[in-house]
Amino acid sequence: MRTGTDRISDRRRAGGQGTDNGGDKDRRHMGGRTAGSRRLSGRESGRRGKRRGNFRLNTRWKRQLSFTGVSARILMSVLAGLLVMSFLSVVINPGKVWIFAVFGLLFLPLFIVNLVLFLWALKRRSRSFVIPLAALLPSVFFIGGYFQLPSSERPGTPAEGEETVRLVSYNVGRFLQSHGRNMPEGRRACSDSIRHFLTEQNADIICLQEFYTTDIGRVRQYLSGWLKGYRAEYYFYRSRYGYYGNVTFSRMRARDKGVIHFDNSANLAIYTDYTYKGKSFRVYNCHFESYNISTTGLLRSVHRRDREMLRETETKVRRGLAQRPRQVSRVLKHIAGSPVESFVCGDFNDTPMSYTYYRLSKGRDDSFRKAGEWFGATFSFLWPLLRIDYVLYPEEFRAISHRTPHRPYSDHYPVVTEISLTAPDGSGG
């Protein structure tokens, strides 16, 4: 006979068996989930592996971009710094510190390179665009000496009743362009071409530099026949091959005239006083010190690595940079004593980004800035980088037009401008 205790024990055993069976089911269920989890973990691990691989590639790519970005920023900073240094060339005397004048000569190419880098950074949406931008912003005050956009505000032709004077400044290069020194027929042909061009301009005053002649005894007779209808004032130096110097032709008789000599130099300035259409003024025809460098010879020496020639070139450059400020000071001192307003014309052998131009343009306007269009470069080599020929006029007058015709008769291009003597300058520049 079974007691109650036995029945309770049976129930416990039965419950235990049920529990064991349920545990087995739970373990089987959990075991199924574990297997599935293992399968999912395999897929996820594959994805994670790919992600790790992509992360490594992205990291490498970002490192490459970072290296490129740092290099670009360094390059931008250097070029922006050089452009900023070129600004100093207008206020630092190259006779004391010459290196800034070299940066001034490079202003236009430095400006163009910084502009390209600025646009490149903008296109890439890079914050590094602020580096060239910081250097470009001050350039707005200087670029006008090299380049002018066309403007409807510039008259181009004088108004009715407006009294004007037309001036030409032209370095004729001793009539040597494309001709040898010992070829008189070549010089004669070049001289005839220039004379024909000047006749077509119908100018009132013509300032020529490096005018050449072989017969100094008959020079006045020669000049009166060379350009008919004009009076000539001149000064010549003697050279190995003949005589050369500055000549100012005018339809008017000069009331006064003179020459300004420069120390240890064959360059010079001459001045002439005129009264024209009720206005009295003085015209300075200047030819300041050049570098006296043969471009072809310099390129040849660079190609051949001729160190002696390169040292000689450096000496000439430094000599020219040192002499021009002294020559400009002498002309400015003379202008200060002038009883009338003065035009300053000629071959300055310096760009608008120079100590020479900055000093001479004080109190005077630049005909190109006020009436020119597009590029104003006047030196044919490396055009449009070098603008070295000018007509600067009193601020009380007004520029009507400015042209630099590209004629192949000299290594310089002529400057042709018309100036109003009666109206203040209210036009943009």
Domain boundaries, the chain: 72-139, 163-420
Q: What is the pLDDT of residues 53-81, one digit of tens each?
A: 555 545 444 444 566 778 889 999 999 99
According to the model, what pLDDT value does residue 294 have? 54
Q: Where do we find the tokens 């630099």?
A: 404
According to the model, what pLDDT value does residue 6 have? 53
According to the model, what pLDDT value does residue 27 have? 47
According to the model, what pLDDT value does residue 68 have? 73
CA distance 263 to 346: 19
CA distance 127 to 5: 89
CA distance 286 to 270: 7
Does domain 163-420 match CATH 3.60.10.10?
yes
Tell me the two tokens of residue 100. Answer: 């800034």
Distances (CA, A) of 332 to 6, 325, 336, 357, 406: 135, 10, 6, 12, 31
Tell me the two tokens of residue 307. Answer: 């160190």
Count of all residues that appear for the chain in the document: 429
Q: Are 382 and 404 in contact (CB under 8 A)?
A: no
According to the model, what pLDDT value does residue 158 have? 80
Q: What is the pLDDT of residues 393-408, one digit of tens each?
A: 999 999 999 999 999 9
Low-confidence residues of the chain: pLDDT under 70: 1-67, 178-185, 292-306, 309-310, 423-429
Closest to 100 (Cα-Cα) out of 278, 355, 300: 355
According to the model, what pLDDT value does residue 240 have? 82
Q: Where do we find the tokens 């066309």?
A: 150
- DSSP H or E segment with residue 212: strand 205-213
Give the phi and the psi of residue 427 in degrees, each rounded to 5.
-85, 160
Using a 10 angstrom Cβ sphere, with 0-12 exposed, 13-18 middle and 19 or more buried, the burial of residue 285 is buried
Q: Are 105 and 313 in contact (CB under 8 A)?
A: no
Residues 122, 123, 128, 132, CA torsion sign = negative
According to the model, what pLDDT value does residue 152 have? 77
